[in-house]
């Protein structure tokens, strides 16, 4: 029985060969599908065609750019500036200011050694006292001689005294008068000498000639200060000061554009040190001479709103305007080039650059500002957007940036 059962057993070749074939067909279709997915990815994603674009940046602009006639560059310059020094020569003994100190007119900034000058001034004062005492003595002598002369004159008319006694009294009175005149002149001379000593003492005190700010400290305690700075290592000036209320921008305007500017014209000033601030200004004067080497004319623009942040020698840019800036036009506005805005489905859109693709963003437009247009919503300053070609772009388009 067992042998018969074993003989009945046999292997179905169809089943043995069919299973591997079915497995191979399934594997084939899986591989084919994967190849298709990879090809699609390479075709439409990784290796698909990219649109070459030019980009621009959403920025903040001021409305005044829309009515600017001319732009020029220059520097902030103090119209009242002085290198403060002494008329006397001496060693600097005390210095009471430093860079940035604000001083008032007449305020003492520094002092030279002045003991010798002070002693000379005391001597002059004593001489004046002596001269005044001599004048009082001469006046007393004059009074006494005058009374004696009057008595002798009366006695002579009565025949009581001789003519010689009268003559002696008269001569004494004249000498007394001359003594008073001499003493008075001595007082004036001593007073003049005292004033001279006061001036010499004052020369050792270095004072501010006007309200100003100290720009530089040119000497220090112990330095020799002399008016001409002729001595070795001597300093001619102690400090340099400037009147901050006199700050103006000196800018060069091309001769060809001189007709676009005039005195009293409204201006807007931007300092490189304060790029986010605009200062109101007015054209103060046009300097009546030209620079032949540069073919330019210097103009001076005055600040209407003084600010402590404005410092001499700062770089500045000046915009000469058609009209004054209104109060509502003093704040910057978000804007972008008009060429970066496209109409899609009745809406205004821009294409934001996000990596290697663009994203369509709907924006709300405001007023035109020159060749820019105000953006009320949809993008922020600093965003990079496509400039052209907009007709080849849509949301999600693969892009590459044009090489410049």
The CATH number given to whatever domain includes residue 225 is 2.40.50.100
Residue 379 to residues 107, 271, 353, 355, 375, Cα–Cα distance (Å)? 56, 27, 11, 16, 7
pLDDT at 233 (0 to 100): 63
Q: What is the pLDDT of residues 28-59, one digit of tens each?
A: 777 777 777 666 555 554 455 788 888 888 88
Q: What's the average pLDDT block by block, 10 residues per block, for the chain (404 residues)? A: 49 51 71 70 56 84 83 95 88 93 94 93 95 94 90 85 88 92 95 94 93 93 78 77 95 94 94 91 95 94 93 95 84 85 88 87 85 86 86 84 64
In a domain, 125, yes or no: yes
In a domain, 343, yes or no: yes
The CATH number given to whatever domain includes residue 251 is 2.40.30.170
Per-residue HEC secondary structure of the chain comes to CHHHHHHHCCCCHHHHHHHHHHHHHHHHHHHHHHHHHHHHHHHHHHCCCCEEEEEEECEEECHHHHHEEEEEEEEEEECCEEEECCCCCEEEEEECCCCCCEECCCCEEEEECCHHHHHHHHHHHHHHHHHHHHHHHHHHHHHHHHHHHHHHHHHHHCCCCCHHHHHHHHHHHHHHHHHHHHHHHHHHHHHHHHHHHHHHHHHCEEECCCCEEEEEECCCCCCEECCCCCCCCCECCCEEEECHHHEEEEEEEEHHHHHHCCCCCEEEEEECCEEEEEEEEEEEEEEEEEECCCCEEEEEEEECCCCCCCCCCCEEEEEEECCCCCHHHCCCEEEEEHHHCEEECCEEEEEEEECCEEEEEECEEEEEECCEEEEEECCCCCCEEEEECHHHCCCCCEEEECCC
Shared-domain flag, residues 162 and 308: no
Give me the chain's average pLDDT, please.
86
Shared-domain flag, residues 308 and 364: no
Shared-domain flag, residues 74 and 99: no
pLDDT at 22 (0 to 100): 66
Domain total in the chain: 4
In a domain, 309, yes or no: yes
Sign of CA dihedral 380, 383, 387, 392: negative
pLDDT at 6 (0 to 100): 46
Shared-domain flag, residues 226 and 254: no
Shared-domain flag, residues 210 and 103: yes
Which domain range does residue 192 map to? 115-203
Do residues 312 and 76 touch, judged by C-beta distance below 8 A? yes
pLDDT at 18 (0 to 100): 53
In a domain, 11, yes or no: no
pLDDT at 21 (0 to 100): 63
Among 153, 177, 203, the domain boundary falls at 203
Shared-domain flag, residues 102 and 229: yes
Shared-domain flag, residues 388 and 336: yes
Shared-domain flag, residues 228 and 101: yes
pLDDT at 14 (0 to 100): 46
In a domain, 20, yes or no: no
């Amino acid at each position: 029985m067992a042998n018969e059962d074993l003989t009945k057993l046999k292997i179905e070749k169809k089943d043995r060969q069919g299973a591997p074939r079915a497995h191979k067909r399934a594997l084939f279709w899986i591989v084919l599908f994967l190849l298709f997915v990879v090809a699609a990815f390479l075709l439409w994603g990784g290796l698909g065609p990219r649109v070459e674009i030019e980009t621009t940046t959403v920025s903040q602009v001021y409305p005044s750019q829309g009515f600017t006639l001319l732009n020029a560059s220059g520097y902030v310059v103090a119209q009242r500036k002085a290198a403060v020094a002494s008329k006397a020569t001496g060693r600097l003994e005390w210095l009471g200011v430093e860079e940035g100190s604000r001083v008032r007119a007449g305020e003492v900034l520094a002092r030279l050694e002045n003991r010798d000058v002070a002693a000379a001034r005391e001597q002059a004062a004593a001489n004046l006292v002596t001269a005044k005492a001599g004048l009082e003595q001469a006046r007393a002598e004059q009074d006494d001689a005058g009374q004696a002369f009057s008595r002798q004159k009366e006695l002579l008319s009565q025949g009581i005294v001789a003519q010689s006694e009268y003559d002696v009294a008269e001569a004494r009175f004249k000498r007394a008068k001359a003594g008073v005149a001499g003493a008075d002149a001595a007082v004036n001379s001593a007073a003049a000498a005292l004033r001279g000593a006061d001036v010499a003492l004052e020369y050792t005190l270095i004072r501010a000639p006007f309200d100003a700010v100290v720009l530089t400290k040119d000497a220090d305690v112990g330095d020799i200060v002399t008016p001409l700075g002729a001595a070795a290592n001597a300093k001619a000036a102690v400090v340099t000061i400037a009147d901050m209320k006199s700050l103006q921008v000196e800018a060069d305007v091309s001769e060809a554009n001189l007709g676009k500017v005039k005195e009293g014209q409204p201006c807007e000033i931007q300092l490189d040190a304060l790029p986010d601030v605009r200062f109101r200004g007015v054209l103060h004067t046009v300097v009546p001479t030209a620079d032949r080497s540069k073919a330019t004319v210097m103009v001076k623009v005055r600040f209407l709103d003084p600010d402590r942040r404005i410092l001499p020698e700062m770089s500045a840019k000046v915009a000469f305007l058609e009209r004054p800036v209104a109060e509502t036009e003093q704040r910057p506005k978000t804007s972008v080039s008009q060429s970066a805005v496209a109409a899609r489905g009745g809406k205004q859109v821009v294409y934001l650059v996000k990596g290697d693709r663009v994203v369509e963003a709907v924006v709300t437009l405001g007023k035109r500002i020159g060749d820019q247009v105000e953006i009320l919503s949809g993008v922020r300053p600093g965003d990079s957007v496509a400039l052209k070609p907009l007709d080849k772009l849509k949301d999600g388009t693969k892009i590459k940036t044009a090489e410049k």
